[in-house]
Amino acid sequence: MSRSFRAEIRENRPVNANHNLLTLAPLDIMEEPRPGQFYMIEISRGLDPLLKRAFSLFRRTRDGFQILYRIKGKGTSILRELREGTIISLLGPLGNGYPLPAENQTALVVAGGIGIASVFSLVERIEKRAHLFYGARVGDEIFMTDEMSGYYRELLVCTDDGSCGRKGTVVEAMNDFLSDPSLEGKEPVIYACGPQPMLREIGRIASAKGITAYLSLEEHMACGIGACLGCVVRTKEGYRRVCKEGPVFEAGEIVW
């Protein structure tokens, strides 16, 4: 068993105009991933693009796993063109992943846009326990909700323009939930992945309310295995590597 392995593309299908769902089946024995971990994927055998690209584990399948990704630059534009049957090289699972909530804790899972690609693995693992707050700018960027149903306890969709679900941000929705009297006597714990301003705001709220929040961060990565020191984030303990000590950090540790 090695964290360096090959996998065959089983499916690489669009879920909307600029997001794809990639289904992979390992050809070598793969290490069992934990929610919130990620993979470095070789996009091409050529020299440009050169580096592997980091993608979160979206969900485990019976004989492999899936990656949900946004087509954003050169690497992902090449990735979207890869067809069924293509064999790719990967490293992973990498990073620490989300610590699972204790039995008595109420799990709030917050996804901003493509952040759903990271947190859904946790929603699935803690079956029917997650209060999932899923937000995007517009309704077209909310997807896969049918496939996810049955795994969360509750789903609250928010869009900035109100074109799908509640009008407003997931942070507002999460804050309202935390202020609800029905939460009295329960211990909430927050898990979040999304744009940096969203994570920062969640961190601020969590700290003000004395709640633990786990944030999954993103940084440019070269190696993904802790060697290049490229993906650091500033913490109370100094710079820490997103690929190794992260990508999940306790909000209180981060120095924004």
Partner 1 sequence: MNLSVSIGSLKLKNPVMTASGTFGYGEEYAEFIDLGRLGAIVVKGLSLSPKEGNPPPRIVETAAGMLNAIGLQNIGIGRFISEKIPFLRTYDTAVIANFFGDSVDEYVQAAEKLASAAGVHALEMNISCPNKQAGWCVFGTDPKVTREVVSAVRKKTSLPLIVKLSPNVTDIGLMAKVAEDAGADAVSLINTITGMAVDIRTRRPKLANITGGLSGPAIKPIALRMVYEVYKAVRIPIIGMGGIVSGEDAVEFLLAGATAVAVGTANFVRPTAAAEVLDGIMNFMEVERIEDIRSLTGTLHAG
Residues in touch with partner 1 (CB under 8 A): 2-4, 42, 47-52, 89, 91, 219-223, 225-234, 238-239
Nearest to 242 by CA among 27, 78, 37, 89: 37
Q: How far apart are CA 30 and CA 248, in angstroms?
A: 22
Residue 15 or 227: which CB sits closer to partner 1? 227
Q: Could you give phi then psi for residue 142, rounded to 5 degrees?
A: -100, 120
Closest approach of partner 1 to the CB of residue 41, in Å:
12
Closest approach of partner 1 to the CB of residue 135, in Å:
23
Eight-class DSSP state of 50: -
Q: How far apart are CA 123 and CA 243, in angstroms?
A: 22
**Token representation of residue 110:** 């917050």
Residue 18 or 44: which CB sits closer to partner 1? 44
Residue 95 or 165: which CB sits closer to partner 1? 95
Closest approach of partner 1 to the CB of residue 74, in Å:
9
Eight-class DSSP state of 115: G
76 Cβ contact partners less than 8 Å away, ≥ 6 residues apart? 53, 69, 70
Residue 111 or 193: which CB sits closer to partner 1? 193
Closest approach of partner 1 to the CB of residue 254, in Å:
12
